Structure 1
Amino acid sequence: MRGMTETLSIGERVAWYRRRRGMSQEVLAGLVGRTADWLGKVENGRIYLDRLSVIKSLADALDVQLGDLLAEPALLDWAQDVKGRTVSALREALMDYRQLTPLLSGDANGFRPDLEVLKQEVGEAWTAFQDGRFARAAHVVPSVLSLAQAATRSYSGDEQLQAYVLLAMAYQSAAQVLTKIGETELAWIAADRGLTAAQVSGDPIVIGSLFRSVTHCLLSNGRFDAAKQLTADAAGYLQPHVAKASPEFLSIYGTLFLAGSVAAARSDDRATTRTFLAEAEESARRLGEDANHMWTAFGPTNVAIHRVATAMELGDVQLALDQGPQLDTSQMPTERRVRHALEVARAYAARNHTDEALSLILDAEKLAPEQVRYHYISRQLVTSWVRRQHGKPSLALSDLAQRIHVIESR
């Protein structure tokens, strides 16, 4: 189903799966604690589903994955700076049997990658991700993974540990971009292998960074309670290092709580959401500024971005509107700026301020067209607006819908 229903709304996908299950509206509505009237309005587009906790409850009742209802695009478009394979190459790299054990690696001629060059290439992959250039990141990561694997086998001692750090961060960059484009199973493989490499390195900062990546994978699979629990468990593991924390550690520690706050909000756990945000805010206070240590984009502004995002997940639309539009994200990496813009657009849409919401999405598209193309918020908002038009959609809306492939090109 996924990949073939990009032009359907979430409500239409709910109806499709419900009919496949042979369920009536009354039965499905009862399973999620709602009325048949409510479900009927969801399926015909009169109610827009904008809370993942509600969408997840429908997915569970239908026995499908969260992504099946969100219907992330199955095809990653080629960008101007990518002239070939993207996700397919990354899939092959993650499923290369030679990476499972050094017994099968077959490294020839004692090849030893330069660790400084490798560090730069890992940084390039992360920079592409933070710029919202997901195709570029997916294109770069396979070769970086191959080099990092070779480095772990060709060095020893401290240099080998450094190679494992780079391998872990390369896997994490793969997991991050795969999560963004809906390849959740591949993202889990990358995060799992990244955490294994991080543990070999013995570096608590890198281990904490990969904990965050695993949390994101759990979130993308709709496992909100597990992601929330992982945050608490990981924080307990990292706690002994907090007192004398470096800026890098504070950034990793704080960002872990930000991911956990989203998990808590999607679990409708307000108390834990507040607790996790407070922990992140304390780390940001100690850090003292917005920074990008370990590619976290962590600081007071990112905490504020997550306050808006969690407010929307909890249904506190007015709180999001009170705080979101005024927040200056201009110094944040593009991925963070665009993610916040989409959240504010969602808040405007919830108040039927369609013009303001559409304007935000169009501005975000100029910054990161790929990110807008793949994010469920922009896709579902545009789909719902097109569906609700009584006449022909405006040229701006129609063109946007075609660019992000929620209606067929003319």
Structure 2
Amino acid sequence: MSSDATPDPYADKVAFGQRLQILRTRKGLTREQLGGLMGRSGSWVKGIESGRLKTPKLEIVLRLAEILRVRDLADLTGDQTVHVDLFTGPGHPRLAAVKAAVDAFPLTPTGEAPPAAHLQHRLARAWTARHTAPNHREVIGALLPDLIRDAQRAVRQADTAAQRRAAQAVLSEVYSLSQFFVAYQPDAALLWRVAERGMVAAQDSEDPHTIGVAAWLTAQAHRDSGPGHFDSADAVTAEALRFLEPQLPDATNDVLAITGALTFEAGYTAARRGETGTAWRHWDQARAMAARLPADYYHPVTSFSRAIMGAHAVTIAVELHAGGESVRQAAAADATTIPSRPRRARHRIEEARGYQLDGQPDVALATLAQAHEAAPETIQYNGYAKRIVLEETEAKSPDRRRRASALAVKLGMLAA
């Protein structure tokens, strides 16, 4: 290793403050930026990193882990006796098969590609399964390998330019579905391969809706990589919106919906930055687009619809760390109108974050239990939910500790 290389915080036993400094630097954050995201000062961060201040309490450590998107709580604490995956979920049993299909690029004929209509029908069934099955990762993980191979084959065997563009649109959508499966699993490189290939296929398709979906997912991949990647998320979102804007006057429902979803994404990232006015302005713009959609319309990829805007308002308030506003928005939102089980579970998790911010941990745990009931595989891979559960396992209330521990066992965080 060269003398100027970044040290590996996991190679030797180092102090908490040193680990914090290394992980903060890797994420591209200054002390002032990290302090601001924590509601503290840069000097507070410096005090912890230098050892002048003692290691914070668990709730602060968990919040730092959330901001830095650490793969395992032990990476930050140095305690190798307790491993808790936060923003990296367990490797799904079907991950290897999906990865093999993504990575394979056979160049010799391997059979005739299915007709485009057949692939579209299978894709529609897969999206339906993703929204309706509580074990949605298991279901789509079983469907994806053959879908990926067949969509790749359809692109290679296209006879005309028009057929090739149509096949690329299908392939891009298959990669979009793949990204939902791969997200928050222990293979970040695979996630980026899927996102980038989806964007390349979308661009080759020249289809506005397909390009918008690929941009939406790419922006999410950047944003979920941590604060050091927010600029990249904003750049992708802004470019996609510039591309779609001229088409809005005569847009189809799908193009209008993906434009609305991208507009909300800009607000989501702004909220992560703590930019209150900008976040709510984008939410208002997205709500106006949702109002132009039919009342029963629901975008199959992004969930964008009239029904989702209440859930989006909760997300904005939570990301701005506004506990009271989060609870107010949660009261106004109607989760039962969200037809997608995983999206409904995600909304319950956002509500739980709001209740915890508002000092209502018992309600937060009850809401997380509702999320688990709606879609166990959603909460199992959600770092925010696991942070709340882990924090409440050390609550002063014995009853709350018991309920949090029982939920932690269901999520695979603690042994039964």
Select the residue among 128, 137, 142 that pairs with 1:139: 142
Q: Residue 261 of structure 2 aligns with which residue?
A: 255
The share of aligned pairs that are identical, in percent, is 24
Q: By how many angstroms is 1:120 displaced?
A: 2.2
Q: Which amino acid aligns with 1:138?
A: G
Q: By how many angstroms is 1:17 displaced?
A: 5.5
Please say which of residues 343-352 and 390-399 is displaced more in the overlay. 390-399
Q: By how many angstroms is 1:224 displaced?
A: 1.6
The yes-or-no answer on 1:216 pairing with 2:223 is no
Q: By how many angstroms is 1:295 displaced?
A: 2.8
> Deviations along 1:188-214, whole A, 9 cap, x unmatched?
211111111111111111111111010
CA contact (8 A) 2:69 2:87 kept: no
Change (3 A) 1:316 1:55: same
Q: Which amino acid aligns with 2:58?
A: G
The yes-or-no answer on 1:356 pairing with 2:363 is yes
Give the SS at the match of 1:43.
Answer: coil
Q: By how many angstroms is 1:149 displaced?
A: 0.6
CA contact (8 A) 2:69 2:225 kept: no
The yes-or-no answer on 1:88 pairing with 2:88 is no
The yes-or-no answer on 1:337 pairing with 2:352 is no
Q: By how many angstroms is 1:278 displaced?
A: 2.5
Aligned equivalents of 1:292, 1:254: Cα separation in 2: 12
Change (3 A) 1:249 1:358: same
The yes-or-no answer on 1:203 pairing with 2:210 is no
**Alignment map for 1:53-202 (pairs within 5 Å):** 55-56=67-68, 71-77=86-92, 85-96=93-104, 98=105, 104-109=106-111, 111-131=112-132, 133-157=136-160, 158-181=162-185, 183-202=187-206
Provide TM-score, normalisation by structure 2.
0.79
Q: Residue 11 of structure 2 aligns with which residue?
A: none
**Alignment map for 1:363-382 (pairs within 5 Å):** 363-382=370-389
Change (3 A) 1:310 1:183: farther
CA contact (8 A) 1:255 1:296 kept: yes
Q: Which amino acid aligns with 1:185?
A: A
Q: Which amino acid aligns with 1:18?
A: G
Give the SS at the match of 1:35.
Answer: helix
Aligned equivalents of 1:76, 1:188: Cα separation in 2: 16
**Alignment map for 1:46-57 (pairs within 5 Å):** 46-47=59-60, 55-56=67-68
Q: By how many angstroms is 1:320 displaced?
A: 0.9
Q: Which amino acid aligns with 1:118?
A: L
Q: Residue 81 of structure 1 aligns with which residue?
A: none
Structure 2: where are the runs of 5+ without partners?
1-13, 23-29, 36-41, 77-82
Aligned equivalents of 2:251, 2:267: Cα separation in 1: 21
Q: Which amino acid aligns with 1:112?
A: A
Aligned equivalents of 1:18, 1:231: Cα separation in 2: 35
CA contact (8 A) 1:167 1:194 kept: yes
The yes-or-no answer on 1:234 pairing with 2:235 is no
CA contact (8 A) 2:127 2:300 kept: no
**Alignment map for 1:220-299 (pairs within 5 Å):** 220-222=224-226, 223-299=229-305
Structure 1: where are the runs of 5+ without partners?
1-14, 78-84, 99-103
Q: By how many angstroms is 1:155 displaced?
A: 2.5
Q: By how many angstroms is 1:294 displaced?
A: 4.2
Q: Residue 39 of structure 2 aligns with which residue?
A: none
Q: Which amino acid aligns with 2:122?
A: E
Aligned equivalents of 1:51, 1:127: Cα separation in 2: 36
Q: By how many angstroms is 1:139 displaced?
A: 2.9
Q: By how many angstroms is 1:156 displaced?
A: 2.4
Provide TM-score, normalisation by structure 1.
0.81
**Alignment map for 1:308-347 (pairs within 5 Å):** 308-332=314-338, 333-347=340-354
Aligned equivalents of 2:236, 2:62: Cα separation in 1: 27
Q: Which amino acid aligns with 1:337?
A: R
Change (3 A) 1:273 1:183: farther
Q: By how many angstroms is 1:106 displaced?
A: 1.2
Aligned equivalents of 2:129, 2:186: Cα separation in 1: 17
Q: By how many angstroms is 1:117 displaced?
A: 2.2
Change (3 A) 1:251 1:390: closer
Change (3 A) 1:22 1:358: closer
Provide the aligned length of Structure 1 versus Structure 2: 371
Q: By how many angstroms is 1:321 displaced?
A: 0.6
Aligned equivalents of 1:42, 1:317: Cα separation in 2: 26
Q: By how many angstroms is 1:37 displaced?
A: 11
Select the residue among 381, 395, 401 that pairs with 1:388: 395
Aligned equivalents of 1:42, 1:57: Cα separation in 2: 19
> Deviations along 1:348-401, whole A, 9 cap, x unmatched?
112331221111111111110111111011111110011234758654332211
Q: Residue 18 of structure 1 aligns with which residue?
A: 17
